[in-house]
């Protein structure tokens, strides 16, 4: 199985901050990397697919980059509604779509 490792596991930040979350794959996954946001008690929401494509309706302050084994999710200017958990997911291996362990973004 392809392992996905996110860092950090938690992050404290303030409104207006620029934050970056990283996700590393145990082997190359091309650009088959998606990012999800999850708020407490809610289902995950797709933010970014194909490493850098913004899902429809997602604010442009969210951006993704990377390919191969290293990927980042950046929020350019944190808004109050952005405090949530974030997960990366690889879909390169069609037999197993693994998620990262998540990053919890908390208010400083």
Partner 1 sequence: QITLKESGPTLVRPTQTLTLTCTFSGFSLSGNGVTVGWIRQPPGKALEWLTHIYGNDNKFYNIALKSRLTITKDTSKNQVVLTMTNMDPMDTGTYYCAHLDSSKWYSYDYWGQGTLVTVSS
Peptide bond into 74 cis (omega under 30): no
User: How many residues contact partner 1, by CB under 8 A?
Assistant: 26
How many other C-beta atoms can be found within 10 angstroms of the C-beta atom of residue 10?
Answer: 11
Does 100 help bind partner 1 (rule: CB under 8 A)?
A: yes
Q: Nearest distance from residue 85's CB to partner 1, in Å?
A: 9
Site string for partner 1, 42-61 (x = CB under 8 A): -xxxx--xx--x-x------
Give the separation between CA 11 and CA 14, rounded to whole angstroms: 10
Choose between 17 and 68: whose C-beta lies nearer to partner 1.
68
Instruction: Using CB under 8 A, pick the residue from 14, 60, 95, 108 that binds partner 1.
Output: 95
Q: Is the dihedral of CA 79, 99, 43, 50 positive or negative?
A: positive
Residue 86, interface with partner 1 (CB under 8 A)? no
Does 36 bind partner 1 (CB under 8 A)? Our answer is: yes
List strands edge to edge, sheet with 45-49.
Answer: 10-13, 103-107, 85-90, 33-38, 45-49, 53-54
Beta bridge partners of 38: 85
Note the residues at the interface with partner 1 (CB under 8 A). 1, 31-32, 34, 36, 38, 43-46, 49-50, 53, 55, 87, 89, 91, 94-102
């Amino acid at each position: 199985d392809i392992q996905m490792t996110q860092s950090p596991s938690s992050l404290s930040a303030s409104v207006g901050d620029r934050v970056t979350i990283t996700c590393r794959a145990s082997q190359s996954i091309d650009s088959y990397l998606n990012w999800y946001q999850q708020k407490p008690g809610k289902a995950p929401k797709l933010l970014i697919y194909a490493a850098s494509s913004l899902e429809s309706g997602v604010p442009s302050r969210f951006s993704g980059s990377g390919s191969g084994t290293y990927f980042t999710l950046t929020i350019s200017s944190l808004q109050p509604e952005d405090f949530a958990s974030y997960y990366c997911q690889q879909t390169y291996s069609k037999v197993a779509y693994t998620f990262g362990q998540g990053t919890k973004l908390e208010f400083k």
